[in-house]
Structure 1
Amino acid sequence: MELHVVINGRKDLAEQLYQQLREAIGSGRLAAGAQLPPSRLLAEQLGVSRKTVSDTYSTLTYEGLLIGKTGRGTFVNAGTPQSEHLQTAPDLACAAQLAKWQALPSPMRHPTRDGTLRYEFIGGATSRNQFPQDEWRRCTQDALRRIAQNSGFYSQPEGLPALRSAIAGHIAFSRGVKCRDSDIIVTNGAQQALDLIARVVLEPGSIVAMEDPGYSPARQLFMAMGARVAGVPVDDQGIQVDRIPDGTRLIYVTPSHQFPLGMPMSPPRREALLARAFELGAIIIEDDYDSEFRYEGRPTDSLQSMDSRGVVTYVGTFSKTLLPELRLGYAVLPPAIHGAVLKAKQLTDQHSSTLPQWALAKFISEGYLLKHIRRCHAVYAGRRERILQRLAGDLSSWFEAVPTVAGFHMAALCKVPVDIPLLMQLARQVEVGLYPLDVFFHDTPVRPGLIIGFGAIETLDIDPALDKVRDILKQIG
């Protein structure tokens, strides 16, 4: 790769080269530690003498901007100060809009590798130890071979046919979803699916109804698009349909495992929701984020499988069954919005990366995904049972679990006043990551408590971690 330097004419060649290299170093375009081309190669590139380049390098080295390393070459000095001539946000015409985006909270942002605690009860994360590395490696190698045989053109915005076919078969088998391959669009995680649907359905001022408490990243996304989000209370049967306001254009629900409380939506409530959406001319987003893991009772149908009017968009993800870092999700779209969402996907990022798409298509078709889900189900069931036992045992003076039959997180509500921020702070000091429920409430009164994820914590770590939590609770009274 050639260094970007432009020489004009044949006058002051050394001065032109000196000024451009000095500016590139000062602005940070040539980063600290970056290696410069050998003087002979740069001279050939620019059509100047090698002496001109060598003299320039020597001058910059004398000034401390470059450093020569014997046998290795010439590098930008790591201690070189960089000039700052950047526009600040308040000076921009879009300052108010920038401030709105910057003010959005990040309640579900996962910690970095360096910030991860010894015992993590964070929701939405899985244990890397459960990931089927060998099977995924074989599927990735197959994907690389397929890519090597392709034309080199961009792929389809809706996703590879092989993956859409595999997804259609998987969700029909595991969730009873009624769809064809052509109904599916592959996305970069479920969050992009929400973004694409909202882009084509909403305008500034549109009303979005969603469960309250509910999934905060979805609420923030809708609000960032200028929508008015109406928080609709939930009870033990799910969202209270009769409180969805008139004029609602989009309804966001998690009917199989209400986020964050965990109860499933009852069949009568589902029927009422479908009727209400049809009456309003609204689209329902059914976020079925982790219902593959079910521990009690009979499986419930997806809301989409009950939809006879074409108002439900079914959104799923592989972040919960495999790894969040893969960023693979999908949406099953009703005919009315399919074309618009497909165009939005194409304009947003052309298409999702084909390497993980090919790998996942083979992973599903070879039966690895179902095998992995069954293996994880047994692990998560054991973790869930142990946490429930502790909440019903020595932690019962402070918390009670909300009944839940699916997923790999649960909610624990406070039975007595507990200083949750203080509890979280003291827990972090002993390497326990705890997370509050209050960030998921919007309009309805907050019910204090914790969201307890059991996907990322190892089974043998649960009791030592909860012992520490119990001791802190005793300490703070």
Structure 2
Amino acid sequence: MTDFHVSLVGRKDLSGEIYRQIRRAILDRRLRPGDPLPAGRELARALAVSRATVTVAYERLAAEGFVTSRQGSGTFVSELATPAEREKAGRRSTGTLQPRPIWEAMSPPVTFEPARFDFRSGLCDASLFPHGAWRRSVTWALRSGETTAGVYEHPAGHHDLRIAIARHIGNSRGIRASADDVIVTNGTQQALDVLARVLLAPGDGIAVEDPSYGPPRRLFKALGIRVIGVPVDRQGLVVDALPRGIRAVYVTPSHQYPLSVTMTLSRRQALLAWAERNNAAIIEDDYDSEFRFGGRPLEPLQTLDAKGRVVYVGSFSKTMLPTLRLGFLVTPPSLRAALNKAKFVSDWHSSTLPQAALARFIDEGAFARHLRRVSAIYRKRHQILADAISRDFAEHLELIPSTTGLHLTALARRMSADQIAAIARRAADRGVAVQVLSNFAVGAIPRAGVMLGYGAIPTSHIEEGVHLLRACFDSEP
């Protein structure tokens, strides 16, 4: 028997109301073909009506073909005649409520359609995920009882995971932080959301890199925050171009998205000095910093910060899987209480099971082993792709040197942004997915260039994909 809700409160035509609500449930597919309806006697008892009232409703549904009765078995939902009839009968009003204008103007959420040669950035290779080791950590978390206690977690997250994160970033990035400084979030985007709610009021200004990743900008704008683009050159964010009167700066200094440059030490020091002079906050997104393939790593801004002006943001979306939805932020003590409250009113806390499993995964050394393994594979892809761009695209593209992250960026030498976009569309028709740099512009004239990620594409497919992309530069529109 399928349970479903029928309300007769304040209704007069009881059998008609039972008929209409069951019919609606069938049209909406809440009751599916083959689902059994409650026996007439049972439904009458549950609704406190006579059995005859239910029988009249069932007979009407049967007469119209919505249900069928089987002698000795019961009453079951029928398959409606055609999809068109279902659509016509089940059509709903679009409603009179309207969203704020900002949501109409905002571009739709990012979706990733499959591509044979996928050079899009922001993706990792799911086939490299250590399913066996992760399964053991999840099993341990389930058996430990911590995830099945039936109580809510602290807003900052699972304590063991916060300890593990503090130790991991201390060893890998030199960040000095305690578990109390760590707040677990549902990825980078939520970390930025709670930070914006704590640091900024509607009408306040935040500076972002231009070009930069779109979702954070859309988030800030949705919260009523003014977003000001600041140019990026080969040394990172141009600190001298920061406007007065802004309350915060959002930067990706380790591997700027999308240009791939690393902010120099002198620029980092200048940014910290600017924040102190202007009483501003710095939100440091340490994007893709786990994957470094050469050169001496520069210290995060957070490790150079002596005044408590930097909030450090990290994520496990590339090192593990985006579907886990786990990230974190490291806060100065002065913001800790407010950020815990903001996380609480946002969603109380992130899911406890994957947090407990990840804590175990890190503590047992499985995370470090996984990073070493995938870094070796990504290093090889990085080299193959960098060599191919330098060799085959020298006439059209200038590769921006980069030894960090999971994507490379190349600037167009003579082509316009529109011409590059046309090439990307031709490539997509051939099964090659790339991103154009102009899509990441904030306010300045869009730069012409392409981004090529190597996180999702198999190593053996890179050369063929690059060959197809190269042909698109020569073909006519």
Task: State the match for 1:391 in structure 2.
Answer: 389
C-alpha distance after superposition, 1:20-61 (max 9, x if no partner) = 3235446x3845548343315423423445554344223112
Task: State the match for 1:53 in structure 2.
Answer: 54
* Alpha-carbon shift at residue 148 of structure 1 (Å): 6.7
Distance 1:436 1:17, change over 3 A: same
Distance 1:447 1:138, change over 3 A: same
Structure 1 CA distance, aligned partners of 2:230 and 2:9? 66
Equivalences for residues 340-355 of structure 1 within 5 A: 340-355=338-353
Task: State the match for 1:105 in structure 2.
Answer: 107
Cα contact 1:38–1:74 (8 A) shared by 2: no
C-alpha distance after superposition, 1:241-285 (max 9, x if no partner) = 111111110100011111111111111111111111111111110
SS state of the match for residue 214, structure 1? coil
Distance 1:462 1:8, change over 3 A: closer
Equivalences for residues 58-97 of structure 1 within 5 A: 58-67=59-68, 74-75=76-77, 77-78=79-80, 79=83, 80=86, 81-88=88-95, 91-92=96-97, 94-95=98-99, 97=100
SS state of the match for residue 336, structure 1? helix
Which blocks of at least 5 consecutive residues in structure 2 are unaligned? none
Distance 1:312 1:55, change over 3 A: same
Cα contact 2:250–2:285 (8 A) shared by 1: yes
Task: State the match for 2:258 in structure 1.
Answer: 260
Distance 1:258 1:8, change over 3 A: closer
Structure 1 CA distance, aligned partners of 2:185 and 2:76? 44
Task: State the match for 2:116 in structure 1.
Answer: 118
Q: Bigger shift: 467-476 or 5-14?
A: 5-14
* Alpha-carbon shift at residue 303 of structure 1 (Å): 0.8
SS state of the match for residue 330, structure 1? strand
Cα contact 2:147–2:352 (8 A) shared by 1: no
SS state of the match for residue 186, structure 1? strand
Distance 1:6 1:232, change over 3 A: closer
Cα contact 1:263–1:405 (8 A) shared by 2: no
Amino acid across the alignment from 1:103: A
Amino acid across the alignment from 2:431: E
* Alpha-carbon shift at residue 85 of structure 1 (Å): 5.0
C-alpha distance after superposition, 1:396-427 (max 9, x if no partner) = 22112111110011111112216222212221
SS state of the match for residue 455, structure 2? coil
Determine if the alignment matches structure 1 residue 440 to structure 2 residue 440: yes
Structure 2 CA distance, aligned partners of 1:190 and 1:8? 46
Structure 2 CA distance, aligned partners of 1:360 and 1:44? 49
SS state of the match for residue 476, structure 1? coil
C-alpha distance after superposition, 1:117-148 (max 9, x if no partner) = 11111111111111101011111111222347
Structure 2 CA distance, aligned partners of 1:249 and 1:404? 30
Cα contact 1:31–1:76 (8 A) shared by 2: no
Equivalences for residues 100-249 of structure 1 within 5 A: 100-106=102-108, 109-111=110-112, 115-147=113-145, 150-249=148-247
Amino acid across the alignment from 2:152: Y
Cα contact 2:142–2:148 (8 A) shared by 1: no
Cα contact 1:36–1:76 (8 A) shared by 2: no
Structure 2 CA distance, aligned partners of 1:425 and 1:315? 34
Structure 1 CA distance, aligned partners of 2:74 and 2:426? 50
Amino acid across the alignment from 1:21: I
Across the aligned residues of Structure 1 and Structure 2, the Cα RMSD in angstroms comes to 2.3
Task: State the match for 2:320 in structure 1.
Answer: 322
Cα contact 2:412–2:448 (8 A) shared by 1: yes
SS state of the match for residue 393, structure 1? helix
Structure 1 CA distance, aligned partners of 2:409 and 2:395? 16
Q: Bigger shift: 412-421 or 381-390?
A: 412-421
Distance 1:198 1:148, change over 3 A: closer
Percent of residue pairs identical: 42
Cα contact 1:390–1:396 (8 A) shared by 2: no
* Alpha-carbon shift at residue 157 of structure 1 (Å): 0.8
Normalised to the residue count of structure 1, the TM-score between the two structures is: 0.92
* Alpha-carbon shift at residue 65 of structure 1 (Å): 2.9
Task: State the match for 2:410 in structure 1.
Answer: 412
Structure 2 CA distance, aligned partners of 1:10 and 1:252? 56
SS state of the match for residue 456, structure 2? coil
Task: State the match for 1:14 in structure 2.
Answer: 15
C-alpha distance after superposition, 1:271-330 (max 9, x if no partner) = 111111111111110001210110111121111011110000000000010111111000
Amino acid across the alignment from 2:136: R
Amino acid across the alignment from 2:257: F
C-alpha distance after superposition, 1:91-137 (max 9, x if no partner) = 44x55x1x31132125x8231xxx30111111111111111010111
Cα contact 1:232–1:240 (8 A) shared by 2: yes
Distance 1:429 1:282, change over 3 A: same
Cα contact 1:212–1:444 (8 A) shared by 2: yes
SS state of the match for residue 134, structure 1? helix
Cα contact 2:147–2:356 (8 A) shared by 1: no
Amino acid across the alignment from 2:465: A
Amino acid across the alignment from 2:214: S
Amino acid across the alignment from 2:106: L
Normalised to the residue count of structure 2, the TM-score between the two structures is: 0.92
* Alpha-carbon shift at residue 188 of structure 1 (Å): 0.3
Distance 1:300 1:67, change over 3 A: farther
* Alpha-carbon shift at residue 395 of structure 1 (Å): 1.9
Cα contact 2:208–2:228 (8 A) shared by 1: yes
SS state of the match for residue 252, structure 1? strand
Structure 1 CA distance, aligned partners of 2:9 and 2:157? 47
Amino acid across the alignment from 1:461: H
